[in-house]
């Protein structure tokens, strides 16, 4: 007869993470091609930046970004561009765009793009992903927030390099650092894989969930913080 005593302790089974599975890449994956894709992504982000104008809506900015990438031969995006204006910089990619808000002088805005680049020699596609925050004019509070995201990224990168920090440790560090500086970390913006497209055929694990040190050149570290009153926020991401 089975014992149904509810006071009996239940065995909790924790599935160990296997880095070989979570960090798998294709047989022809080249680190150099991944770095090239990321470099091209950073370069075109600056091209998008140069076309951002006062009076634009977020939807108009997104369409403009797509046109620029198309002009450079990008036919796919692992995620569509996210461009946020003003108080929208406190929002994430999980939130809908502001349909009617127009970019104003002294507004912060961020650009987050994820184009897919093709290695023509091998026929393999690589995912780029980059984001940064800017100001249209002058805004000392928003500028400090943007500067802080970049500093937090570099500090997190440093503990990854020098202390072999796990993904969990990286984001625990980021949360505490953001709080100490008077901001709140968006915990749902928690880093992810990239690699030969699409990376999700290998793994959908999040960087913040890793219990081991992330490997080089296949993880994107995302940092998004916001003002406690949600007047503005800032976003920065790049390849680890």
Using one digit for the tens of pLDDT, what is the confidence trace for 143-201?
Answer: 999 999 999 999 999 999 999 999 999 999 999 999 999 999 999 999 999 999 999 99
Helix (H) or strand (E) holding 47: helix 31-51
Task: Please name every residue paired with 51 in a beta bridge, in sequence order, or none if there are none.
Answer: none
Query: Which percentage of the chain shows pLDDT scores above 90?
Result: 92
Domain residue spans of the chain = 19-239
Predicted confidence band of residue 228 (pLDDT cuts 50, 70, 90): very high
Q: What is the per-residue burial (b if ≥16 Cβ within 10 Å, else e) of 62-96?
A: bebbbebbeeeebeebbeebbbbbbbbbbbbbeee
In this prediction, residue 9 carries a pLDDT of 47
pLDDT of 46 higher than 90:
yes
Question: What gap in Å lies between CA 96 and CA 101, rounded to an integer?
Answer: 12
Architecture of the domain defined by 19-239: Alpha-Beta Complex (3.90)
Q: Is the peptide bond before 198 cis (omega within 30 degrees of 0)?
A: yes
What pTM, to 2 d.p., does this model score?
Answer: 0.91
- The model's pLDDT over 22-40, given as tens digits with 9 standing for 90+, comes to 999 999 999 999 999 999 9
The pLDDT score that the predictor gives to residue 15 is: 58
Mean predicted confidence (pLDDT) in 105-116: 98
Whole-number pLDDT of residue 240 = 97
């Amino acid at each position: 007869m089975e014992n149904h005593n509810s006071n009996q302790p239940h065995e909790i089974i924790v599935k160990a993470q296997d880095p070989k599975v979570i960090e798998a890449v294709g047989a022809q994956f080249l680190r150099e091609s991944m770095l090239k894709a990321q470099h091209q992504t950073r370069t075109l982000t600056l091209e998008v930046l140069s076309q951002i104008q006062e009076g634009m809506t977020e939807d108009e900015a997104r369409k403009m970004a797509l046109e620029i990438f198309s002009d450079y031969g990008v036919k796919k995006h692992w995620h569509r561009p996210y461009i946020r204006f003003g108080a929208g910089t406190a929002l994430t990619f999980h939130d809908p765009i502001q349909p009617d808000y127009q970019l104003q002088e002294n507004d912060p805005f961020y650009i987050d793009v994820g184009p897919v680049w093709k290695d023509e020699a091998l026929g393999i596609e690589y995912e780029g992903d980059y984001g940064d925050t800017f100001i249209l004019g002058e805004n000392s509070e928003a500028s400090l927030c943007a500067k802080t995201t970049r500093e937090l990224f570099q500090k997190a990168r440093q503990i990854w390099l020098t202390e072999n920090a796990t993904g969990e440790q990286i984001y625990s560090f980021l949360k505490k650092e953001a709080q100490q500086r008077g901001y709140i970390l968006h915990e749902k913006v928690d880093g992810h894989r990239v690699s030969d497209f699409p990376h999700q055929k290998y793994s959908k694990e999040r960087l913040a969930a890793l219990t081991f040190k992330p490997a080089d050149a296949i993880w994107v570290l995302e940092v998004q913080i916001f003002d406690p009153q949600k007047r503005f926020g800032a976003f920065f991401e790049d390849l680890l």
